[in-house]
Amino acid sequence: ALNFINPDELSMQCILIALNRFLQEKHGSKMAFLDGNPPERLCMPIVEHIESKGGQVRLNSRIKKIELNEDGSVKCFILNNGSTIKGDAFVFATPVDILKLLLPEDWKEIPYFQKLEKLVGVPVINVHIWFDRKLK
């Protein structure tokens, strides 16, 4: 997102901190900037690909419960509004603390899901402020 701020409006320190962080990563050289805004250049191509394969993307659809089949596979998601979502495969994007609360009891005994206990959620807040004119 830093790529969309005019260079005369942004301290280079911010970019240097970000670059330093990514360049220290094993695959840091694969870092790149988007050539447009993230919803249009990153999110929409993913949504279009999923939909082109017959999938569906639902936003603002809070999951109340993960209901399982007898074999432990996902039967459906029950949403807060009472509706159910059924499918062959699911991608569930949620903070780890919420996932821990929603995890079905049967899954809590599976070693793969027990690893979630080691993950700790970190509170994050973003504030975007747009002014109608330059501040002096």
pLDDT at position 1 is 46
Kindly report the backbone phi and psi dihedral angles of residue 64, in degrees, each rounded to the nearest multiple of 5, phi listed first.
-90, -40
13-48 pLDDT tens trace: 777 777 777 777 776 556 566 777 788 888 899 999
From the list 50, 52, 38, the residue with the least C-alpha distance to 90 is 50
Q: Which amino acid is at 101?
A: L
Could you tell me if 34 and 3 are in contact, meaning their C-beta atoms sit under 8 angstroms apart?
yes
Q: What number of other Cβ atoms are within 10 A of residue 96's Cβ?
A: 14
CA dist., res. 108 & res. 117, Å (int) = 10
Per-block mean pLDDT, blocks of 10 residues, the chain (136 long): 60 72 68 74 92 91 94 94 92 87 94 89 68 74
Across-strand partners of 78? 65, 84
pTM of the model: 0.60
From the list 41, 77, 37, 43, the residue with the least C-alpha distance to 61 is 77
Could you tell me if 79 and 85 are in contact, meaning their C-beta atoms sit under 8 angstroms apart?
yes
